[in-house]
Amino acid sequence: MCQVDEEYQEELERADGPSVSKKCVKCKEASAAVVIRAGDTYCRSCFKEYFIHKFRAMLGKNRVIFPGEKVLLAVSGGPSSCSMLSQVQEGLSQKAHKKLRFSPGIVHIDEGGAVGQSAEERQRKVSELQAVFKATGFPFLILPLEQVLDLPSSVVETALSPLEPPPSAYKAAVDRFNQTSSSDYLPPQEREEKSLPDVQKSHTQLLQQLMGSAKTLTAREDLLNTLRQHLLVHTARTEGYSKLMLGDNCTRLAIKLLTSISLGRGAQLAQDTGFSDSRYGNIISVRPMRDYSAKEIAFYNHMFNVPAVVVASLDTKTSEKASIQRLTESFVTKLQTDFPSTVSTIYRTSEKLQTACRSSSSADHSDRCLLCVCTLDTAVEKASAFQATLISEQLSQTKSLGCRNPGQSPGPVKPESAASTGQCCSSAGGEDCGRATSGGGCCSLTTETTDLKSLLCYSCQLTIRDMSSVDHLPLYILSEAQRRQRRAQMRDEISEFLLDDGDEGIYREV
């Protein structure tokens, strides 16, 4: 069927051929060095001014970071986060026009263990990064991802969210800051840096087992993102930071937005790609680089010698169709070449979204996803994609539910019903059936997977589905899962005595 069934505005503008105009559009004097987008050609110094201004403007416009606040910069070593680091340095320097007034620290997570790098390689990268970080004079931490294995369960409990500060709070904080610190404010002091703690081989092995239990690169990347986020949030909390600064740029966010949609993360899009993300309650993530394209950053770093350290990631040198994340990246970059407004159009979409609020700020944390801590989007609504998939699963595996009887159709399916049929092998997909014949231990594993599923959002369920076993998940996740399951059980048992539905009512009164 022809899909052109609705009117659309004209097609997106196609790329023109190379244009050779050589003057800067800003000062109209110097010869141009960068084409930011079609027609926008800047000379070196106007480009620098524009770049620096944009960073301040982004922070100024959003008013999320308060003067004097401790802000933790997550620096992967890639161009974007290193550029962010240099902008913070620039903004805090005495000569800065409108000085930034927060107090920064740096955290780098060494993911070499998950990516399969040798200890020597990891050490080499770490010392390169150490040199970059030392030069800033900011306090910094370099943590191996292996530390995620030892996190406490408190990471995935959302700490009680702070109340939304009233609009006047920002101004009050500025005033306070100006009174107290205009003269005696000291630049952040260099702290004795903590060098990379020795990583136990056994820890690295555990991490690798965990990564290896994800059968697809798509799931592996998703899992790695989750673990990284947990370690970042935990570090910010224990080190006394209240904001986490992430280096996602506009190009990256456009890719992330499209990836998130493909991964079933529609409900979380606004938090995944917006300026700030408050799902972790007292630690708010911000993305000040979201206005810069990857091209702007690459040019700036090259021209003004911003050091960056290339760190291999899971999908480095993989083929285009290795994972959903990887495919989306190549799709967006290719489309961007043909239609130069692609990235900015997708990016603008992200600005018009908000997180679907099912009383997310006040909700009990058992309503949050165990892994990504977003508000659960798995309420089985009538006539939804989620419901339709559950029906398909049910209809594809069982005749015993009486639905063979024409005229008598089964009622809406509950998510648990797949498990209750006792045919967990087939419910978890074809691959597990193969395991059943060889190992026989499949059923217990899959049952556990199914149990875990009820604690996860739609998308994290997909990730878990792609895992051969959840046994290798870190203890803090598994024990929190058990706690929530016990709690849910208890709630079921006492539900008939409660007037309100579950314990939400109790929580709201507190």
Partner 1 sequence: MPAQCSSCTEKRAVLKRPKTGHSLCKECFFWAFEEEVHQTIVAAELFKSGETVGIAASGGKDSTVLAHVMKLLNERYSYGLELMLISVDEGITGYRDDSLETVKRNQQQYELPLKIVSYEELYGWTMDAIVKQVGLKNNCTFCGVFRRQALDRGAVMLKVDKICTGHNADDVAETVLMNVLRGDIARLRRCTAISTSSEGEGVVPRCKPLKYAYEKEIVLYAYFKKLDYFSTECIYSPNAYRGYARTFLKDLESIRPSTIMDIIHSGENLSVREGVKMPVQGTCSRCGYISSQALCKSCVLLEGLNRGLPKLGIGKHHRLHDKILSQQPLTEKEERKLKSVDF
Partner 2 sequence: MAAPIAVHLEFGGGAELLFNGVKEHHVTLPSQSEPWDMKQLLVWIQRNLLKERPELFVQGDSVRPGILVLINDADWELMGELEYQLQDQDNVVFISTLHGG
Tell me how far apart the alpha carbons of residues 490 and 493 are, in angstroms, rounded to a whole number: 5
Q: Does 414 bind partner 2 (CB under 8 A)?
A: no
Interacting partner of 375 out of partner 2, partner 1, none (Cβ under 5 to 8 A depending on kind):
none
Distance of CA 238 to the CA centre of its chain: 20
Interacting partner of 291 out of partner 2, partner 1, none (Cβ under 5 to 8 A depending on kind):
none
CA–CA distances in Å: residue 242 to residues 103, 109, 157, 279, 341: 11, 18, 16, 13, 35
Interacting partner of 61 out of partner 2, partner 1, none (Cβ under 5 to 8 A depending on kind):
none
Tell me how far apart the alpha carbons of residues 510 and 506 are, in angstroms, rounded to a whole number: 7
Question: By CB under 8 A, which span of 260-268, 443-451, 472-480, 490-498 interacts with partner 1?
Answer: 260-268
Tokens of 173: 């904080």
Q: Which residues from 330-349 bind partner 2, rule CB under 8 A?
A: 330, 333-334, 336-337
CB of 312 to partner 2, least distance (A): 8
Whether residue 297 contacts residue 249, with contact meaning beta carbons closer than 8 Å, is answered with yes
Binding mask 73-92 for partner 2 (x = CB under 8 A): ---x-xxxx-----------
DSSP 148: G
Q: Does 321 bind partner 1 (CB under 8 A)?
A: yes
Q: Which residues from 421-440 bind partner 1, rule CB under 8 A?
A: 426, 429-431
Q: Which is nearer to partner 2, 131 or 490 (CB)?
A: 131
Whether residue 210 contacts residue 473, with contact meaning beta carbons closer than 8 Å, is answered with yes
Size of site (CB under 8 A) for partner 1: 77
Q: Does 169 bind partner 1 (CB under 8 A)?
A: no
Residues sharing a CB contact under 8 Å with residue 461, sequence separation 6 or more, in sequence order: 378, 453
Q: Does 354 bind partner 1 (CB under 8 A)?
A: yes
Strand partners, 71: 104, 243
Q: Which is nearer to partner 1, 6 or 29 (CB)?
A: 6
Q: Which residues from 367-396 bind partner 1, rule CB under 8 A?
A: 377, 382-389, 391-393, 395-396
Question: By CB under 8 A, which span of 34-42, 100-108, 160-168, 352-360 interacts with partner 1?
Answer: 352-360
CB-based burial label for 286 (10 Å; 0-12, 13-18, 19+): buried
Interacting partner of 240 out of partner 2, partner 1, none (Cβ under 5 to 8 A depending on kind):
none
Strand partners, 37: 40
Say what angle helices 250-262 and 324-338 make with each other, to 10 degrees. 130
DSSP 161: P
Q: Does 247 bind partner 2 (CB under 8 A)?
A: yes
CB of 23 to partner 2, least distance (A): 10
Q: Does 458 bind partner 1 (CB under 8 A)?
A: yes
Tokens of 433: 């059936």
When binding is defined by CB under 8 A, the residue of 56, 125, 237, 252 that contacts partner 2 is: 252
Tell me how far apart the alpha carbons of residues 103 and 86 are, in angstroms, rounded to a whole number: 14
CB of 56 to partner 2, least distance (A): 22
